[in-house]
Amino acid sequence: MSIKTKSNLQVAGIYAFIGIVFVAILYPLMWTIGLSLNPGTSLYGSSMIPENFSFVHYQWLFFNPASDYLLWYKNTLIVAVITSISAVVVVSLIAYAFSRYQFIGRKNGIYTFLLLQMFPVLMAMVAIYILLNMVNLLDSLTGLILIYIGGAIPMNVFLVKGYFDTIPKELDESAKIDGAGHFRIFFTIMLPLAKPILAVVALFNFMTPFMDFILPSIILRSPENYTLALGLFNFINEQFGNNFTRFAAGAVLIAIPIATVFLFLQRYLISGLTSGATKG
């Protein structure tokens, strides 16, 4: 077999693999969209391309007085925006300290963050519930936000620290010679250069409240405090409900803010994902 033929077969295999992955991703997405346009309520009586498609479920979500969908959407956006911004601020400050300063407990702190990444959040659910109950933050968006921010610290600090380590320290030293202080170096030099990795942190933490169901189901009790994942679950969980088509319509709309943020940050994402955690 010639080198050219072998190369063509390899390229064909790569494209075939990409095609299979594309179909695996696109098929459930198209099925969900088709399900949301079906005027019925059944999951099994629907098809990917409905014969008589209708926007009745979208209309119900937005205009029916019995629908709390917009309230859930607002709650989720509040949690997502505050979590994303707060995580970027807190993580960047901690990562900068670990990257640029030598202090007692620095190495142990890094090892602690690595250790915390190994344990799933489910292991801490009981402790989280008891802690929030002690400080009267159960059934509140504030408690949910604090847990999301705290949970974002270990993994993201290690990721951002690795990115900060790739920035030459000579830039800091030159700025100090010019009279810049620690905060000025951080805000005028480090943060602008770290935009790619901070965009990754912002996107991941913005997505979490839209996707997470377990944590809100434990913390939130009042329907007026529900996030989208928890609220939409009621469409298929309530007795005599099982409205899968309405659930699909609500799920499709979740993609709008995530896609918007992704498109806004996409120019930073690739370099951020490939440059983070390159040094210990």
Residue 227: predicted pLDDT: 94
Distance from C-alpha of 59 to C-alpha of 124, rounded to nearest angstrom? 39
Whether residues 111 and 202 fall in one domain: yes
Distances from the Cα of 114 to the Cαs of 154, 156, 157, in angstroms?
Answer: 7, 10, 10
Whether residues 169 and 40 fall in one domain: no
Residue 278 has pLDDT above 80, yes or no: no
Residue 147: predicted pLDDT: 92
Among the listed residues 241, 224, 245, 100, the one whose alpha carbon sits nearest the alpha carbon of residue 172: 100
Distances from the Cα of 199 to the Cαs of 177, 184, 209, in angstroms?
Answer: 30, 21, 17
Whether residues 103 and 22 fall in one domain: no
Residue 133 belongs to some domain of the structure: yes
Q: Which of 58, 79, 102 is the last residue of a domain?
A: 58
Greater confidence (7 vs 40) lies with: 7
Tokens linked to 83:
């979590």
Residue 273 has pLDDT above 60, yes or no: no
User: Structural domain tally of the chain?
Assistant: 2
Predicted TM-score of the model (pTM): 0.84
Greater confidence (50 vs 273) lies with: 50
Whether residues 187 and 156 fall in one domain: yes
Residue 63 belongs to some domain of the structure: no
Distance from C-alpha of 216 to C-alpha of 210, rounded to nearest angstrom? 10
Query: Whole-angstrom distance between the N-terminal and C-terminal Cα of the chain?
Result: 44
The per-residue pLDDT for range 125-154, each reduced to its tens digit, is 888 899 999 999 999 999 999 999 988 898
Residue-range definition of the domain harbouring residue 44: 3-58
Residue 120 has pLDDT above 50, yes or no: yes
Work out the angle at residue 86's Cα, subtended by the Cα atoms of residues 81 and 90, and round it to the nearest 5 degrees: 160
Among 19-23, 42-46, 181-185, 273-277, name the one with the lowest average pLDDT. Answer: 273-277
What's the CATH code of the domain at 153? 1.10.3720.10
Residue 265: predicted pLDDT: 83
Whether residues 245 and 208 fall in one domain: yes
Residue 71: predicted pLDDT: 94
* Band of residue 233 on the pLDDT scale cut at 50, 70, 90: confident
Average pLDDT rounded to a whole number, residues 122-127: 82
Whether residues 20 and 132 fall in one domain: no
Whether residues 51 and 186 fall in one domain: no
218 Cβ contact partners less than 8 Å away, ≥ 6 residues apart: 125, 128, 129
Q: Are 143 and 132 in contact (CB under 8 A)?
A: yes
Residue 279: predicted pLDDT: 43
